[in-house]
Structure 1
Amino acid sequence: MADRVLGGRYTVQDKIGIGGMATVYRGLDTVLGRTVAIKTMLPQYAADPSFAARFKQEAQAAAALQSPYIVGVYDWGKDGDTYYIVMEYLRGTDLKSGIGKHGALDCRKVAQIGSQICQALSVAHGHDIIHRDIKPQNIMVQPDGNIKVMDFGIARAKNSHLTADNSVLGTAHYVSPEQTQGKELGPTSDLYSLGIVMYEAATGRVPFDGDDAIAVALKQVNEQPVPPSQVNPNVDATLEGIILKCMRKNPAERFQTADELRRVLNDYLAGRIVNLGEATSLITATPTSQLNRTPGGRTQAMPRAAVSPTTTGRIPTTGASHASSMQVPEKKPMSKGKIAAIVIGVIAAIALVAGGAMALMGGNSATKAMPNLEGMTKDEATAKLAEYGDGFFVVSTSEQYDDNIEEGKLISQDPARNTQCEKGTQVSLVFSKGKKPAATVTVPNLKGMTPSGAESALAELNLKGAVGDSVESNDVENGKVASQDQAAGSDAKEGDTITYHLSSGVGKADAGDHSGESLSSAKSELNSLGFTNINVTHAYSSSVSKGYVISQSPTGSQSKDTSITLRVSDGPDPAQSSSNNSGNGNSNNSGNGNSNNSGSSSSSDTEDSETGSEGSNSSN
């Protein structure tokens, strides 16, 4: 992949990361000359239309989000079999690595990071996009200390039906209980994940851990976190209350919007009183991972004191003596298989586990697996669903343009294939309208631009540029755009190619000598040679007819921007003609008979009004 050029513009350089669906490279935008990050879909997914559609959706969704706290998406496309997204190249380290290296952060820094993440989420939620994968690995801390939220790879707009399956796609340590259970997600799901991020930043560890994702997911649903101050005594009461309210199991008891949480964090940072309501004060700590082995090998939960609310939101512990008096019933060890069975029943969203278990258990007679409708037309898909019985699936269809899916064929289905569905399940099917018609754009005026400037101006309108033959130009300097084939202001379609021509500077031509020619003929010939700076002066002449050129300056080979002066005859001087006298052989001059006076006179030429005479006068 290294050194490959994608889209004729982006040079792929070294690999900087790899995820579940894509590889990320550092690259160079050869048009704008800037370093970028290029995400390319892994080959095993690029051939799958549903994954390709999801990858495309990721680019479109992320590109719409403009915030100083969200990584910028510049471009996306397909080159051969490779789908790619071009993003802002970030310098710094992810928050997960920072916590691993430096340990728990101070309370103010935790709140500052949380506030900035809230601003990013506010923008996303305003576009009806739930991130669904907020975790420290997706929070980049830049050299100036500010953060950017990355990877909207599993984000999904509320009105979109694109998803590979109903499984939990995020990391188990950070997903909300409702995401673990496959329920509908809203903004509060991202706020739960943010609460866990702040918990880890404040304590140096995640609140729930286990041997595998299933065990962790089960704890997300059923267990309460150890209050942060019991892990790190430096966590103050107010920040602890904020974090624990984010992590309430019931979404209705959390902060309801990212803006609400941001205001609370900003109040905390400013030293103002923070009102967290009643929900947080009701949290009771329960055992999580502290287990004690009894002599008989049975696992017994370590006792933890009950807690009571305070006005500050702190979850205090009771005395040790009280804790030691608590009686905790012994539990029989639960096998991993039984845990999986419980999770399958509760965590319906983990599709791979659930699908395998349903196959082993023979399924549920009250549910049916969603069929795979990939590649079907609307008639074929609806007929297939009708086979399951009248009213089992309630089908709604819609259409959208898709450059990669044949017109009339299915783009996506929701629920995804193999999902266990009950009677009355709402099914949304999206079918392709074929390639989206190119939008009409107005051709920009490229004259006077550098080649890179012209390419940028065209790229902003999704137009392509092509350099034609160089042309001479009297008014555009060498190397800049002198003309373009498609006129500025005319209409073009996105993707069209606009050919432009660069100036080779002012040329030279033989101006010749047009003395004796008519003015109109001389000017026309000079114009045809590229001389446009022509000055005309007038003078009387008895030898050159009126309207004809007496003289030209300069003549011969000249630069085409040279000023050419044509001196044009106005005919004989009237004053000179009236001074001619004829008589009886005598003249007003005394002499011995005849006297002849001869001479010529002329006046200097001017461009606006000039007089002059040439010739001889005689008298007897």
Structure 2
Amino acid sequence: MDTGQEVVLKTPSPNYSDDPWYLDGFVREEWIGQRLKHPGLMKTYKAKRAKKFLYFTTEYIKGQTLRQWMAENPSPDVGKVREIIEQIASALRALHRQDVIHQDLKPDNIMIDTEGRIKIIDFGAVQAAGLAELATVLQRQHPEGTLNYTAPEYLIGDRGSKRSDIFSLGVIAYEMLSGQLPYKERKVDKFQLKSYHHLKYISILQYRPDLPSWIDAVLKKAVAPNPEKRYGLLSELVHDLKLPAQVMDGRDSEPLIQRNPVLFWQGVSAILFVILIGVITAWHLQG
């Protein structure tokens, strides 16, 4: 560059040079990076001269991916995870305010620079209302995103929403704290889902019994399979990660069958048993 600024030159992978779906995402990524301004979003730069081949330049970010950070910090404290999640949420809000959904949020697509600031670095899968000028007639052969981070609604065949990004962020928070995933890991050939009921949440307390139960309650809501039962706003997730008392108050107001189905059915069984004993006793007395 004429300014002497360090940048990254990005070109399409030769392995996908004949894949229109991949190339469409490549062009999309450059477009988004030039139009959205936020310190947590990677910048892409307009070319100063006519291009002779497909490429674009991005800002150079000195640091490591969140995936690498997680490998070096297998059991971080809640405060540090909260700090990183809050930064990611701030960057996502900048996308959502412009009616843009990221659709492929995962630790590999997030950088942490040498000063501890995060950057979301990949926009190849975004869904944006303002992309009409780049619209194509391509038919997606599989959902956008990455298996195990992709929101269940994509796997069912429904369109994504801002809540889809919240699901991915919830999975990241869960994995940062435990090194595990909140649902049984899916295989590559199982990139589909028939019903939300097929997903069974695994309490993070199984992996981190030292964590408070309210953290588990927050994560469970963030990664709820049904988007209608998920957090509706990023600010709600960030808020609940800071105020455990309110999380538990809200949890206590839920029906017992949702909070603790085992206890609910044990109680129902006990009541039915008492009624049965009463009926038998009355029958014997009448006899």
Given the alignment of the two structures, is residue 205 of structure 1 paired with residue 177 of structure 2, yes or no? no
Structure 1 residues 114 and 220: alpha-carbon distance in aligned structure 2, compared to 1, 3 A threshold = farther
Q: What displacement does 1:199 show?
A: 0.5
Structure 1 residues 156 and 216: alpha-carbon distance in aligned structure 2, compared to 1, 3 A threshold = closer
Structure 1 residues 107 and 48: alpha-carbon distance in aligned structure 2, compared to 1, 3 A threshold = closer
Instruction: Check conservation: 1:75, 1:87, Cα contact below 8 A.
Output: no
The corresponding residue for 2:11 is: 40
The corresponding residue for 1:376 is: none
Q: Name the CA distance, whole Å, in 2 between partners of 1:219 and 1:98.
A: 34
Instruction: Check conservation: 1:119, 1:262, Cα contact below 8 A.
Output: no
Given the alignment of the two structures, is residue 108 of structure 1 paired with residue 85 of structure 2, yes or no? no
The corresponding residue for 1:224 is: 200
Structure 1 residues 68 and 281: alpha-carbon distance in aligned structure 2, compared to 1, 3 A threshold = farther
The corresponding residue for 1:83 is: 54
TM-score for both structures, normalised by structure 2: 0.77
The corresponding residue for 1:153 is: 124
The corresponding residue for 1:171 is: 146
* Aligned positions, number: 257
Where 2:58 maps in the other structure, the secondary structure is: strand
Instruction: Check conservation: 1:51, 1:164, Cα contact below 8 A.
Output: no
Structure 1 residues 32 and 108: alpha-carbon distance in aligned structure 2, compared to 1, 3 A threshold = same
Given the alignment of the two structures, is residue 96 of structure 1 paired with residue 71 of structure 2, yes or no? no
Instruction: Check conservation: 1:134, 1:194, Cα contact below 8 A.
Output: yes
Match of 1:242 among 200, 211, 218: 218
The structure whose residues are more often helix, as a share, is: 2
Instruction: Check conservation: 1:41, 1:83, Cα contact below 8 A.
Output: yes
Higher relative CO (Cα under 8 Å, sequence separation at least 6) belongs to 2
Instruction: Check conservation: 2:28, 2:123, Cα contact below 8 A.
Output: no
Instruction: Check conservation: 1:131, 1:154, Cα contact below 8 A.
Output: yes
Instruction: Check conservation: 1:191, 1:258, Cα contact below 8 A.
Output: yes
Instruction: Check conservation: 1:253, 1:279, Cα contact below 8 A.
Output: no
Gaps spanning 5+ residues in structure 1: where?
1-28, 286-304, 309-317, 319-620
1:68-116 Cα offsets, whole Å, 9 max, x none, are 1112222358732x31121111111111122223313211111111111
Q: Name the CA distance, whole Å, in 2 between partners of 1:45 and 1:132.
A: 20
Structure 1 residues 209 and 97: alpha-carbon distance in aligned structure 2, compared to 1, 3 A threshold = farther
Structure 1 residues 211 and 254: alpha-carbon distance in aligned structure 2, compared to 1, 3 A threshold = closer
> Which residue identity is paired with 2:10?
K
The corresponding residue for 1:61 is: 32
Instruction: Check conservation: 2:105, 2:168, Cα contact below 8 A.
Output: yes
Q: Name the CA distance, whole Å, in 1 between partners of 2:26 and 2:163.
A: 25
The corresponding residue for 2:162 is: 187
Q: What displacement does 1:196 show?
A: 0.5
Q: What displacement does 1:143 show?
A: 1.9
The aligned runs of 1:504-519 (5 Å cut-off) are none
The corresponding residue for 1:261 is: 237
Q: What displacement does 1:56 show?
A: 2.1
Q: What displacement does 1:47 show?
A: 5.3
What is the CA RMSD across the aligned residues, in angstroms? 3.1
Given the alignment of the two structures, is residue 138 of structure 1 paired with residue 102 of structure 2, yes or no? no
Structure 1 residues 123 and 142: alpha-carbon distance in aligned structure 2, compared to 1, 3 A threshold = same
> Which residue identity is paired with 1:223?
L
1:485-527 Cα offsets, whole Å, 9 max, x none, are xxxxxxxxxxxxxxxxxxxxxxxxxxxxxxxxxxxxxxxxxxx
Q: Name the CA distance, whole Å, in 1 between partners of 2:191 and 2:118.
A: 27
Gaps spanning 5+ residues in structure 2: where?
267-287
Where 2:157 maps in the other structure, the secondary structure is: coil
TM-score for both structures, normalised by structure 1: 0.38
> Which residue identity is paired with 1:244?
K
The aligned runs of 1:504-583 (5 Å cut-off) are none
Structure 1 residues 255 and 78: alpha-carbon distance in aligned structure 2, compared to 1, 3 A threshold = farther
For the pair shown, which has the larger CA radius of gyration, 1 or 2?
A: 1
The aligned runs of 1:326-365 (5 Å cut-off) are none
Where 1:98 maps in the other structure, the secondary structure is: helix
The structure whose residues are more often strand, as a share, is: 1
> Which residue identity is paired with 1:255?
Y
| Identity among equivalent pairs (%) | 27
Where 1:137 maps in the other structure, the secondary structure is: helix
Instruction: Check conservation: 2:166, 2:231, Cα contact below 8 A.
Output: yes
